[in-house]
Amino acid sequence: MGDPVNAIAAWLRNLLIGLGLSPGLTTVLLTALGVLVMATFVTVIDILLVWVERKVVARFQDRLGPNRLGPFGLIQPIADVIKLLIKEDITPRGADWFVFNLAPIMALATVLLMWAVIPFAPTILGADINVAVLYIVAVGALGTLGIIMAGWSSNNKYALLGAFRTVAQMVSYEVPMVIVLLVPVILARSMGLQAIVDSQSTWFFFLAPIAALIFLITSIAELGRAPFDINEAESEIVAGFHIEYTGMKFGLFYAGELLHALTVSAVFSTLFLGGWRGPFADQVPILGVVYLFGKAFFIYWVIMWIKYSFPRLRIDHMLGFSWKFLTPLSLVLVIATAVLDKILRGTGNAPIAFPYVLLQLGMNLVIAAATVIILREYARIERKRVAGVRPVATAIEPDFKELVAQE
């Protein structure tokens, strides 16, 4: 019973073929059933994330959090879902009805699509495609389209401003994210997530810690979570893109945000923390699921920690942080990683040895030290400029002789 998922799939396949179904139809039915089971599984986890988020932020803020419904308040998310289902569904006057109602569905559905290529275990994987990294980037950007649709179709100026901010934020932070994703691709010599996991005899986090940090920052920005939540800044644009949504439509946006955060955590764990790899995961594949979600929930906790600890960034500072700092740093990191990889491993696909790990880590430390030195020098110049002598406005003294002559 080390691989119950594939055991159940094999039993169902034999059962359906025994009932007279063709192998092709059996494959289609099993694929559809797998999609349904996967979507249901992550949706149930999404409901649990509501409780986790509220409990964790309560501890950060020295509160108790949900504690009324069920043991430790575990039934509270179900009560929230029921409340959202029975709330009145309102469509604002002048809104584009079709796009307005499609936006929350797209916001959640695109997040579910990302789980299709994430390997849960050596033998538990939806689709092992050789461009899975590119697929993750494309689907993640498509999820932002739901926010843009919501802001444009709501016939509300605040919602439209939130959509505009989302476009600016996505364009800015997608660039360093895509660049830095080349680092694990270079190290693994593949864009497939299963191949990247198989290559991590040593976690890529130890080979490229700067790349991991940049990916985490840009992923939080793409999520639109604090301190990058300018698309729904309540002090500026009330609630942003979802201001006109009520009931379960708002609930879909909220569920999509929480599930997207967990999805990003799972992708981060796959790219930099070894994914499903762990003790006896090859012999007992179901352990891979435990290892993957253990790592993913740890990264999710880090994302929550950042969200509830930092204030919201100003939009010009946020965009400048991407274009002036993260993007150049990502380019330098990718070039240095590629050159060092070429020197040490050549064009072959040799396994990663311990000296290779030390040299890659040392290169990252050198880049980090150089970055700190440059930032300190820039800060010194900026402080000197700000502390310089500024012109002071003074009142013009009247010329009494000229006034007397005029009189």
Assess if residue 382 is contained within a domain: no
Q: What is the pLDDT of residue 349?
A: 63
Residues 102, 25 within the same domain:
no
Residues 236 and 302 in one domain: yes
Q: 105 and 81: one domain?
A: no
| 249 in the same domain as 112 | yes
In a domain? residue 386: no
The stretch 87-91 carries a mean pLDDT of 82
45: how many CB neighbours lie within 10 A of its CB? 16
- Whether residue 26 is found in the same domain as residue 78: yes
Euclidean distance between CA atoms 182 and 178, whole angstroms: 7
Return the residue matching tokens 């500024």. 390
Structural domain includes residue 389 = no
| pLDDT bucket at 101, cuts 50 / 70 / 90 | confident
Residue that is last in its domain, among 23, 56, 86: 86
Q: 91 burial class (0-12, 13-18, 19+ CB within 10 angstroms)?
A: middle
In this predicted model, what pLDDT tens digit does every residue of 212-246 receive, in sequence order? 999 999 999 888 777 888 777 666 666 677 788 88
Residue 393 forms part of a structural domain: no
Same domain, 225 and 352: yes
Question: Does residue 285 sit within a domain?
Answer: yes
Same domain, 293 and 195: yes
Here the tokens at position 8 are 């159940």
CA distance 94 to 335: 51
Q: Give pLDDT, residue 212.
A: 95
Mean per-residue pLDDT for 96-114? 87
* Mean pLDDT across the chain: 86
Domain with 230, as residue range(s), is 96-377
Return the structure tokens found at 9: 């799939």
Q: Do 283 and 139 share a structural domain? A: yes
Give the whole-number percent of the chain exceeding pLDDT 70.
91
Gyration radius of the chain over CA positions = 26
pLDDT for 295 equals 94
Residue pLDDT, tens place only, 291-306: 999 999 999 999 988 8
Residue 404 lies in a domain: no
280 token code pair: 């006896």
108 and 65 housed in the same domain: no
Are residues 358 and 329 part of one domain? yes
Would 261 be classed as within a structural domain?
Answer: yes
Q: How many domains does the chain have?
A: 2
Residues 100 and 82 in one domain: no
Q: Are 287 and 183 members of one domain?
A: yes
Q: What is the pLDDT of residue 401?
A: 58
List helix spans (H) across 308-326.
315-321
Q: Give the other-Cβ count within 10 Å of 395's Cβ.
A: 5
Domain contains 347: yes
User: Closest Cα to residue 248, out of 54, 88, 78?
Assistant: 88
